[in-house]
Amino acid sequence: MPRKHPEHQLDLFDDLSEQHPPIVRTAHAPACPPSPWPTWHIPRPETLPAHASWREITLGEHTLGYVLRRSRRKTIGLMVHDDGLQIQAPTWSTLAHIEQAIREKSSWILRKLQARAQHLRLLALQDNPWRSGGRIPYLGVQISLQLDGTQAAHYQGQDNAPETSDVLCLPLPGDALADRIRESACTWLQQRAVIDFSRRLDHYLARADQTIQGWRLSSASARWGSCSSARRIMLNWRLIHFAPTIIDYVVAHEVAHLRIMNHSPAFWRELEGLYPDYKHARDTLRQHQPTTLPLI
């Protein structure tokens, strides 16, 4: 009798989840971004791992390439990393089984490849950002640094809706060292965080009909915000890197804690009343910790 193979199972791996920089969107981006199919293009690598082959599958109007490795494992594993999609499959799995697994998990693969593409774009921009012409994230987009020792720091762009060509001019000479550029840029970002976060706090406090004893910026390494029983709020200044929708979520989250100091279903209903689209922003922010930000 032919040997029976174990039932097909899928294992999903994503080694970007704890490492990649924040996913940023422009201030004009819709809550649900357009399909990122163009980011699925993965070129065939020049060299392949041992016992691996390059294959392609057609999904709708698009072709997705992936590296296929055979092993003695019992399940089909799908992994997305910087090199693209890799499939690890049992030696006895047919190509039909493997392609079925890819189609069944195409939505998951799409999300991970979108994050991969954004991750790689940010990495490309992080090559020595602390220089004239270097770029850093501000309110969800990349802005350029320009050194100008003749005047005070100023931002050439429209607040809350910066374009990719926007420039942050710093009061430093052209030959300033990277540490001085970093310190100057961080000072400006923190100043902008105070102004931006204060405005958003006023908005959500009024909407919730709540008051606070005060608030301040934090540099916490493990949380984006907090609210104490003394009605004091702290907001991580590094949120200024993110799109306004993400900042709104964190601010509304802490304001909601003024009424409900836990994460019960009642709390999430309170938050939804303040910020109806909180789930999308929450899911985006959950992919990051303050210490994973690429620059600071």
What pLDDT is stored for residue 270 in this prediction? 97
Give the pLDDT band (50/70/90) at residue 40.
Answer: low
- What's at 84, amino acid-wise? G
Average pLDDT for 167-182: 92
If one counts every other C-beta atom within 10 angstroms of the C-beta of residue 290, the result is 19
> Which tens digit of pLDDT belongs to each residue from 49-106?
778 899 999 887 778 889 999 988 889 998 887 678 889 999 899 999 999 999 999 8
Give domain limits for the chain.
10-125, 135-292
Prediction pTM value: 0.57
Separation between Cα atoms, residue 273 and residue 100, nearest integer Å: 41
pLDDT at residue 296 above 60?
A: no
What pLDDT is stored for residue 292 in this prediction? 60
pLDDT at residue 35 above 80?
A: no
Separation between Cα atoms, residue 247 and residue 285, nearest integer Å: 10
Q: What is the DSSP string of 127-155?
A: SS-SSTT-EEEETTEEEEEEE-TTS--EE
Give the pLDDT band (50/70/90) at residue 121.
Answer: low
Which CATH number among 3.30.2010.10, 3.30.70.270, 3.30.450.40, 3.90.180.10 corresponds to the domain 135-292?
Answer: 3.30.2010.10
What pLDDT is stored for residue 279 in this prediction? 92
Give the pLDDT band (50/70/90) at residue 245.
Answer: very high
Q: How many CA atoms lie within 13 A of 119 on its CB side?
A: 22
